[in-house]
Structure 1
Amino acid sequence: MGDYIVDGAGTGAAAAATPSNQGGNAEQQQSPNPNPDLTGHKLLLLTPLDLPTGWADAVRARYQGLAIEHNRHNPWAGGGPPEDVDWSNVTVLVTGPVLPSPRDAPRLHLVQLQSAGANYVLEHPLFQDTKVAFCTANGVHGPQMAEWVIMTYLAFQHRLPHYLDMQKEGYWDRDSHNIDTLDTVHQRIGILGYGSIGRQVARVATAMGAEVYAYTAHPRPAPESRRDKGYYVPGLGDPEGVLPSRWFSGTSGADLNEFLASGLDLLVVAVPLTPQTRGMLGRAQFRVLAEAGKRDDERRGKKTYMANVGRGPVVDTEALMEALDEGWIRGAALDVTDPEPLPREHPLWHKPNLIVTPHVSSDSTHYIDRLMAIVDINLERLSRGERFINQVNKKQGY
């Protein structure tokens, strides 16, 4: 059974206070009427994690009509929805891949996902066939994932994997030390997908003296269009979108190749997985990266290093292995792979100049605090009848 924290108002008035999500166009997501006390609403949190100390009491005091249920079912462990939940009066759900059927949860208004991506819900009837709004946890991962990107890049630049191997052997290997170690000053970092993760990478990279190029699907010509309208950790990221020295955009292969040909020392892959981004980086794109190093007089002979913290299928694995074998790129750091998990016998493990971690770049002890900060914002917006933060565009899938 779950842990239950139920506010005094209960949910008996739910039917009258919260309309059904059934019918209508799924593109026309719900914009509820203002409801300051959230009377008739019920929040269900599916997570085995402890909630931040005092969080439930603070929410209870602010929204006296809201019922809260914390069920410790792990939505990432596989299987279906928990059997000990009455879905009929749930209006706000915090979850991962586990979703109820539209029939079982007729009054659901909002699904708050616990991940930055929404790719695993795009085919679910609750996403496709109802007006339920879906929001991501975009922004909670920026600090730790930016650290992972910079950490793996610096490890490669300073040959840390080699020295760790020598440490295991008890060998003081200064003989291979030379002056060709590259630091990040004046290096060019291209960020494919300038969302919350990419913006924090830009913040750290520019602090280290690097130059940043950004790439987004849609043009961002005006200052207002470059602002971050999603959640970000206060004081971090690039809220105004002022850090990139160049901004590329587009959805065609030619648009992407123009960005890849711009002489990148580090390519950071941080786009969501959608039908449009699946296989986005293939053999042709790796060849563009390779040729860019030959044409750019300023960077002649230099090659690109790639870090993927988006989703594995964005990169064609066979093409990546060829690029590593042929030396079209300097190396790669992967926190996501295709397939995932990467089988023990997969040849990718043994490619040169490669760092692989098992999808852990988003791990942080601050994760639940940041996630609940997004829930706080969206409960407030629900009470005001406003559009939610981090709301997924159902047509675009992110």
Structure 2
Amino acid sequence: MLIKQVTTGPPNKTLKGHKLAVIMPLISEPGFFDDLKSEFPDLEIVVHKLAWGQSAAPFPESEWADVTIILTFNTLPKPEEAPKLQYVQLLSAGANHILDNPLFKDTDITFCTANGVHGPQISEWIISTYLAFEHHIPDFLDRQKEARWDRGESLSNIEDAVSKTVGILGYGSIGRQTARVATAIGMKVHAYTLHPRPTPESRRDDSWTPAGLGDPNGIFPTKWFSGGSKEDLHKFLGSGLDLLVVATPLTNNTQHLLAAPEFKVLADAKPGRTFLSNIARGPVVETDDLIEALETGLIRGAALDVTDPEPLPDGHKLWTAKNVIVTPHVSGASTSYSKRVLAILEYNLKRLSEGQELTNKINRKEGY
């Protein structure tokens, strides 16, 4: 039976009748929940802090019965255990790990992502790894370890980013902050979205973002591309990209979205010039085809914070592939992560108390 819950309705300023279960590590904001109680005096709060590296924790079944709100990564009750549940706030910006969970799949309970928490730090990772590659920083670090003062051929082939074009595949919060940073260093931005954005209003994004950051009004792209077909994707990839940022969610439709045909399109438009940056999920890119494109020079290089498989096993070809920077899924790490997640929670609790629609709601049809 489909359990239907709603999060809009008459105002409930004190959140009377609501119980919040917090299940997360790294609660680094002392006094946050005391302040939350001051803002919503009738809200009951229970906190279960996880150990570092622990993604799920046992939760007393008896406590689920009157929980109406959960802040969690993947610790979720069975639908019948939480009959009053209305709203689940995920700690992650992605939702692929809960799409098959019965609480998501078999109910209409509102799930919201932490979309917006990653934009600052991941955009820094994207731009810093791209610039590090273009300025040969990995090579110079190797020479430093050898105590060797050697410029090599670097002075003749270092390229700066001015007037280069970055294509952002998935123009969400990470893509929008990347566009802001890229524009600041003189790059042009091409944006790709699933749905058309032909008007200024359609290019707006009302999801949560830190104040003054991102691109809420969609002003940075010089060109917009959209669509769900290979033909649509190839128009975007063929637009002359120096840097391709993969920032699309992992869904059934984006599995191996980038494979040999797509690398050929990139190379046809700009032979051997495109640098690929993947901060989305490893399976969005077909790994063997990526290695082939790197080794044959179809693309210039790659920075990968996510891989397929992940973790990347010892001896895998990606470790030694030509012109690759690999990091172990750390681009989203930041000492401000907890602060931003809790800010999203507080923002949505405020909207809930006012009877308004919550932000960052997951679209069940599209899976993000």
Which bin holds the TM-score, normalised by the shorter protein? over 0.9
Residue in 2 aligned with 1:338?
A: 308
Residue in 2 aligned with 1:324?
A: 294
Q: Is the counterpart of residue 168 in structure 1 residue 145 in structure 2? A: yes
Match of 1:350 among 320, 325, 339: 320
Q: Which amino acid aligns with 1:368?
A: S
Q: Which sits farther off after the overlay, 91-100 or 117-126?
A: 91-100
Q: Aligned partners of 1:132 and 1:348: how far apart in 2? A: 40
Identity of aligned residues (%): 52
Q: Is the counterpart of residue 287 in structure 1 residue 259 in structure 2? A: no
TM-score (norm 1): 0.89
Structure 1 residues 367 and 80: alpha-carbon distance in aligned structure 2, compared to 1, 3 A threshold: closer
Q: Aligned partners of 1:42 and 1:384: how far apart in 2? A: 17
TM-score (norm 2): 0.96
Q: Aligned partners of 1:331 and 1:29: how far apart in 2? A: 47
Give the alignment of 1:367-386 within 5 angstroms.
367-386=337-356
Q: Which amino acid aligns with 2:278?
A: N
Aligned residue for 1:200, secondary structure, equals helix
Residue in 1 aligned with 2:333?
A: 363
Q: Which amino acid aligns with 2:217?
A: E
Q: Aligned partners of 1:81 and 1:344: how far apart in 2? A: 33
Give the alignment of 1:184-263 within 5 angstroms.
184-263=161-240
Residue in 1 aligned with 2:98?
A: 121
Q: Which amino acid aligns with 2:213?
A: L
Q: Aligned partners of 2:119 and 2:249: how far apart in 1? A: 14
Give the alignment of 1:383-394 within 5 angstroms.
383-394=353-364
* 1:76/1:96 contact within 8 Å kept: no
RMSD across aligned C-alpha pairs, in angstroms? Answer: 1.6
* 2:272/2:298 contact within 8 Å kept: no
Q: Aligned partners of 1:196 and 1:239: how far apart in 2? A: 9
Structure 1 residues 378 and 372: alpha-carbon distance in aligned structure 2, compared to 1, 3 A threshold: same
Q: Aligned partners of 2:100 and 2:9: how far apart in 1? A: 24
Q: Aligned partners of 1:390 and 1:320: how far apart in 2? A: 32
Residue in 1 aligned with 2:2?
A: 23
Residue in 2 aligned with 1:4?
A: none
TM superposition outliers: structure 1 runs of 4+ over 4 Å:
none
Aligned residue for 1:179, secondary structure, equals helix
* 2:304/2:326 contact within 8 Å kept: yes
Match of 2:155 among 153, 178, 185: 178
Match of 1:270 among 247, 253, 260: 247
Deviations 1:182-218 (A, max 9, x none): 1000000000001111111111111101100000000
Structure 1 residues 318 and 175: alpha-carbon distance in aligned structure 2, compared to 1, 3 A threshold: closer
Deviations 1:123-151 (A, max 9, x none): 00000111210000000110000000001
The count of aligned residue pairs is: 368
Unaligned runs of 5+ in 1: 1-21, 294-300
Structure 1 residues 247 and 290: alpha-carbon distance in aligned structure 2, compared to 1, 3 A threshold: same
Once the two structures are TM-superposed, the CA of residue 346 in structure 1 deviates from its matched residue by 1.3
* 2:55/2:73 contact within 8 Å kept: no
* 1:75/1:95 contact within 8 Å kept: no
Q: Which amino acid aligns with 2:99?
A: L
